[in-house]
Chain A
């Protein structure tokens, strides 16, 4: 059903445009120009962020850090196995997917750890990337409390996914 959602939206917009006697082709081109300009303006931010994220994730520091912190987390009853995922999720979508894949392959998708990792990946987004991309796309210099709240919300998601998997599954 959802496969047809986007194409149907396109048809509805076009039919409504014709019904309202809008010069739809020319107006579409106006939007395309806007889209091209926006994408090109985004390129520097995307490039800079991707470079920084790649350097950080390729150095494996987060994985090594989580090994180092292992004893602390077992004391807190936090499943250490998902710690790298929890840290990488707000930073990089592709590396957190790679970590999720590792976890699923190692512990099995239907294990407790596998389920927590799945829910964790599905219930948050790449906070740091999204915030820096969206703000710099419109030239915002002062981001106020946004990043703090975004990361706090991620922490809430991580804790909730452990609690809810324990309760529901």
Chain B
């Protein structure tokens, strides 16, 4: 699936640029990945900081305590994760950071959570039900404070930049809820077809 999307983006992008006679297409192609370097350079210190801090939390048992406390709640959404597993700690850290609008801090926890979910799925290279649910929560967004949007509104001269907050919270929670329902429906449809 990703294969096709990736190829379509590139083929459509290049063909349409050539079709329009955009002579910059060669330089776009050559420098197009530059932003990838920026992203990685910004990601490295965050990954190192958070995986370092979380390692301490893991060895000291703090992560286990948090995971045990949140087990009941997380199990409603992720029925396949065993009680008190450290994956719960990483998943909840990711969700909390996302809610606070700290997307950059959320990524390291999210990647680590995926690693733990792969361990729980016997290192298989097929996506597990829990992985898909976790990504659906991430992609449908659970932000409570849309900081970037509010600052863009201020920049464009809004008289009441934060008035969209209630509407954003209502929309994002409703859409995440519907996304979780869709996720369950597709899981059962998939299981029916593949068993």
Give the size of the chain A interface in residues (CB under 8 angstroms): 97
B:129-177 near A, CB below 8 Å: 131-132, 135-136, 138-141, 143, 145-146, 148-149, 152-153, 155-161, 163-164, 166-168, 170-172, 174-176
Return B177 CB to nearest CB of chain A, in Å.
10
In the complex, B74 has a CB within 8 A of chain A: no
B:98-114 near A, CB below 8 Å: 100-102, 105, 108, 110-112, 114
Return B116 CB to nearest CB of chain A, in Å.
10
A153 B175 Cβ-Cβ under 8 A: yes
B33 A51 Cβ-Cβ under 8 A: yes
B186 A145 Cβ-Cβ under 8 A: yes
Closest to B125 in A: A141
A101 to B154, CA, bound (A): 11
CB-CB under 8 A for A157 and B36, given A28-B53, A109-B161, A169-B164: no
In the complex, B77 has a CB within 8 A of chain A: no
Kindly list chain B residues whose C-beta atoms are within 8 Å of the C-beta of A154.
139-140
Partner of A157 from the list B101, B114, B175 (CB cut-off 8 Å) is B175
B100 A5 Cβ-Cβ under 8 A: yes
B48 A36 Cβ-Cβ under 8 A: yes
In the complex, A27 has a CB within 8 A of chain B: yes
Partner of B2 from the list A19, A122, A132 (CB cut-off 8 Å) is A132
A149 to B22, CA, bound (A): 35
Partner of B167 from the list A43, A58, A115, A143 (CB cut-off 8 Å) is A115
In the complex, A67 has a CB within 8 A of chain B: no
A53 to B36, CA, bound (A): 11
In the complex, A75 has a CB within 8 A of chain B: no
B56 A141 Cβ-Cβ under 8 A: no
B175 A22 Cβ-Cβ under 8 A: no
Question: Chain A 139-157 against B: per-residue CB contact (8 Å), 1 yes, 0 no?
Answer: 1111111111110111011
A104 B168 Cβ-Cβ under 8 A: no
In the complex, B72 has a CB within 8 A of chain A: no
A:118-169 near B, CB below 8 Å: 118-119, 121-128, 130-132, 134-150, 152-154, 156-157, 160-161, 164-165, 168-169
B13 A56 Cβ-Cβ under 8 A: yes
Kindly list chain A residues whose C-beta atoms are within 8 Å of the C-beta of B35.
50, 54, 94
Kindly list chain B residues whose C-beta atoms are within 8 Å of the C-beta of A34.
51, 55
Return B170 CB to nearest CB of chain A, in Å.
5
